[in-house]
A = this chain, B = another copy of it.
């Protein structure tokens, strides 16, 4: 019998190898974290959550790994929050929403990304849309 944990680990491993990234323990852990936590975490959050289980993990390795993953196009770097970079392993088209009150960052599904008409000669290989406002939970708190 194959455990669920092993299934996930295999998906993680394959995705890394597909992009020419050697699946070390630390890289697998970071990638698995991103795939199982859709919270758009910062490097710091990832480190803090993983550290208890992987005491040999260092913050520099988390940063290095995230940079590598972004470079190879395995995860998205999200700059919706000025303070620190956030990461997302979901590469399907979607936009991000940040709540001004609680700071939560949510995914909003869309058919496809909007790419505005560009001036002649300009080529676009990536586009991101960020929306900022108030989430349903925070709106309810105010109105009730």
Given A79-B82, A82-B77, A114-B129, A136 and B120 contact (CB-CB distance below 8 Å):
yes
CB contact list, A111-144 vs B, under 8 A: 114-137, 139-140
Question: Does A97 reach chain B (CB closer than 8 Å)?
Answer: yes
A130 touches B133 (CB 8 A): no
Give the CA-CA distance A106 to B124 in the complex, in Å: 12
The distance in angstroms between the C-alpha atoms of A79 and B134, with both chains bound, is 20
User: Is A108 in contact with chain B by the CB < 8 A criterion?
Assistant: yes
**Choice from B117, B132, B135 contacting A121 with Cβ under 8 Å:** B135
How many copies the complex holds: the figure is: 2
B contact residues around A80 at 8 Å (CB): 79
Contact A127 B132 (CB under 8 A): yes
Q: Is A50 an interface residue (CB 8 A)?
A: no
Q: Nearest CB to that of A120 among chain B residues? A: B136
The CA-CA distance from A131 to B130 in the complex, in Å, is 12
- Cα distance, A12 to B124, chains bound together (Å): 34
Q: Is the CB of A97 within 8 A of B114?
A: no
A to B CB contacts below 8 Å, 17 in the list = A79-B130, A97-B122, A106-B122, A108-B116, A108-B118, A110-B116, A114-B116, A115-B131, A121-B135, A122-B133, A122-B134, A124-B132, A124-B133, A127-B129, A127-B131, A127-B132, A128-B132
